[in-house]
């Protein structure tokens, strides 16, 4: 189970970083010949980009948290196994 959590956490971390970089390089920008409708669409696209960047940040955070949990489980299981050996003897 520890390896699955570690792999899942690493996968979420990589996907979150990938989407974050993709969204960073695809930010909608202003051009000189924009009318009112195009400016409104631009503002909406920038807000969507900002929201998706927040979601990718959440993916990064959840991935990092899963990686930390996998390391904590590994230490916890080892401690329980050593305590069980002491009780059997």
* pLDDT tens sequence across 41-80: 999 999 999 999 999 999 999 999 999 888 877 555 556 6
Average pLDDT on 1-14 reads 87
Q: Is 69 inside a domain boundary?
A: yes
Q: Is 38 inside a domain boundary?
A: yes
What's the domain count of the chain?
A: 1
Q: With beta carbons less than 8 A apart as the criterion, state whether 11 and 62 touch.
A: no
Give the integer Cα–Cα distance in Å for 46 and 7.
33
Q: Is 86 inside a domain boundary?
A: no
pLDDT of the residue at 15: 94
pLDDT of the residue at 86: 59
Q: Is 71 inside a domain boundary?
A: yes
Q: Is 35 inside a domain boundary?
A: yes
Sign for the pseudo-dihedral over CA of 2, 8, 11, 16: negative
Give the integer Cα–Cα distance in Å for 5 and 76.
14
Phi, psi of 33 (to 5 degrees): -100, 55
Give the structural domain span for 59.
Answer: 2-79
Q: Is 89 inside a domain boundary?
A: no
């Amino acid at each position: 189970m520890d390896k699955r959590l570690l792999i899942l956490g690493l996968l979420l971390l990589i996907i979150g970083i990938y989407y974050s970089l993709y969204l960073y390089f695809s930010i909608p920008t202003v051009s000189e010949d924009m009318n009112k409708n195009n400016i409104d669409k631009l503002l909406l696209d920038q807000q969507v980009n900002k929201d998706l960047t927040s979601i990718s940040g959440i993916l990064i955070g959840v991935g990092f948290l899963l990686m930390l949990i996998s390391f904590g489980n590994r230490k916890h299981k080892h401690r329980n196994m050593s305590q069980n050996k002491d009780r059997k003897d």
